[in-house]
Structure 1
Amino acid sequence: MRTDLNPDELGARRFYKLLTSSVVPRPIAWVSTRSADGVDNLAPHSFFTVACVTPPMLQFTSVGVKDSLSNVRETGEFVVCLAPEWLFEQVNATGTNFPAGVSEFGAVGLTPEPSAVVAPSRVAESPVAFECRLERDLTLGDCTVVIGRVVHASIASDVLDGDPTEGGLPMIDKLRPLARLGRNEWSTIGEVLDITRIPYGEWPGHFRP
């Protein structure tokens, strides 16, 4: 048995809650921006993913027009920082609707760190930061998809298993990323499963009824 729902009949707000309780877990873009007046802003966005491989691009969605989107449109730059488990309370707190003239860095006790290429600050306490320049933004209904080209990456050396120029990668148990669920729920990485894809040549007979 299934429950069938029509988005128009259910209503936008209730269907939004249904979507965000079903499309889970969602990674978090902890987006740092700077206003044209020089005020740093920091906010979590859970509609977030990689948009392109070559050139490298990231995307996040702004629901409505908030400070992150306004600042990106004004300056054309932003930084995506990793939202780690040990900063759970601060990540959540940066989602508060502070006035535009208030920097979330100072309000929640985080350290703004100068970026290498762009003007917005990085979160010094976060182990990963991707500095981005706006590639384009796309308005869809009441939301805007923001796509940025990654122009610089800064990763804490102690979360890497080797030199990235020689294939070293971040270790998930060191990153400890947070993810967003539905309601007021969040999650941590939990159990990590490791499996390789099945080559087509080995496919016949791999799965049997």
Structure 2
Amino acid sequence: MRRNKRVNDKDLHFYEPAKGHGLKHDPFNAIIAPRPIGWISSRDTKGHVNLAPYSFFNAFCYTPPIIGFSSTNWKDTVGNIEATREFVWNLATMDLAKQMNATAAHVAPEVDEFKVAGLTAVPGRLVNVPRVGESPVAFECRVSDIVRLKGADGKEADAWLTLGEVVAVHIDKAFIKDGVYQTAATRPIVRAGRRGDYFEIKPENMFEMIRPD
């Protein structure tokens, strides 16, 4: 009873998103945190290469391995992928944080963000899209679906979810130990809230829990 009383006595900030959050910054993407970064490279039908980060990104299926990212507004990346049906995901790490941030700049479609950020574009093995050579991990992907998102009322949102099957994986062997990929050793960076908040994943912050099944 005492425990339930403490829960019920919490001073909660309640709001309905459609009516506004009433805070200095929208807490939605700060609550859903940290979020992996979808650092996506693509190529348009004219051969121009694009590289851009997306904070709505994750993995969705083991077999086949499927990853996806959501783009608010129809951006060059989504247009390129719709046309060519291919893209590459690149792992954003602490060592590449500044370069990743540089590729978030709004530039013309013909501008190569690899060059803007001083990164090496390495040709894909199975797709005609380059990966970031400096990144320790990259997934070559072929599109499985592009979905325009909708609200509960069925109204279309100005956002598109791109899903892709991972057809090839590149991993720097320096981060594989005894046959196990060392997640934290690459020091991935992940998104928090506001416009510029990030976390760095470090080995000392990891812990293990054995699942009950």
Q: TM-score, normalised by structure 1?
A: 0.87
Compute the RMSD of aligned alpha carbons.
1.9
The residue number in structure 2 matching 1:193 is 206
Q: Could you give the per-residue CA deviations for residues 2-35 of structure 1, whole angstroms, max 9, x where no partner exists? A: 0111111107xx8983211211111111100001
Q: Which residue of structure 2 lines up, in the alignment, with residue 75 of structure 1?
A: 84
Alignment-derived partner of residue 154 in structure 2? none
Cα offset, 1:169, TM superposition: 2.6
Listed as ranges, the gaps of 5+ residues in structure 2 are 1-10, 150-156
CA distance in 2, matches of 1:122, 1:18: 33
Gaps of 5+ in 1: 163-167, 201-209
Q: Secondary structure at the match of 1:150?
A: strand
Match of 1:122 in 2: 131
The structural deviation recorded for 1:48 is 0.8
CA change 1:148–1:20 in 2 (3 A) is: same
Partner Cα separation in structure 2 for residue 109 and residue 193 of structure 1: 31
Segments ≥4 residues shifted beyond 4 Å: none
Number of the residue aligned with 1:160 = 176
State the SS of the aligned residue for 2:205. Answer: coil
Q: Give the partner amino acid of 1:176.
A: R
Q: Distance in 1 between matches of 2:135 and 2:51?
A: 12
Where 2:177 maps in the other structure, the secondary structure is coil
Percent same amino acid at aligned positions? 36
Cα deviation per residue 1:129-178 (whole Å; 9 max; x = unaligned)?
A: 0000000011011111110001100111111114xxxxx23212421100
Give matches, 1:39-58, under 5 Å: 39-58=48-67
Give the Cα–Cα distance (whole angstroms) in 1 for the partners of residues 79 and 210 of structure 2: 42
Name the structure 1 match of 2:188: 177
2:167 to 151, 159, 167: 151
Structure 1 residue matching 2:129: 3-state secondary structure: coil
**Residues 25 and 187 in structure 1, CA contact (< 8 A), matched pair in contact too:** yes
TM-score, length-normalised on structure 2?
0.86
- Which amino acid in 1 is paired with 2:185? K
Distance across 2 between alignment mates of 1:193 and 1:22: 20
* 2:160 maps to amino acid: T
Instruction: Give the alignment partner of residue 113 of structure 1, picking from 111, 122, 126.
Output: 122
Q: 1:198 to 1:61 in 2, by over 3 A?
A: closer
Give the 3-state SS of the residue equivalent to 1:27 in structure 2. coil
- In 2, the alpha carbon distance for the partners of 1:124 and 1:198 equals 36
Aligned residues: 194
- Give me the whole-angstrom Cα distance separating, in 2, the residues matched to 1:70 and 1:150: 19
Superposition deviation, residue 199 in structure 1: 2.7
Letter in 2 for 1:185: D
Q: Deviations over 1:41-77 (max 9, x none)?
A: 0001111111111111111111111111010001000
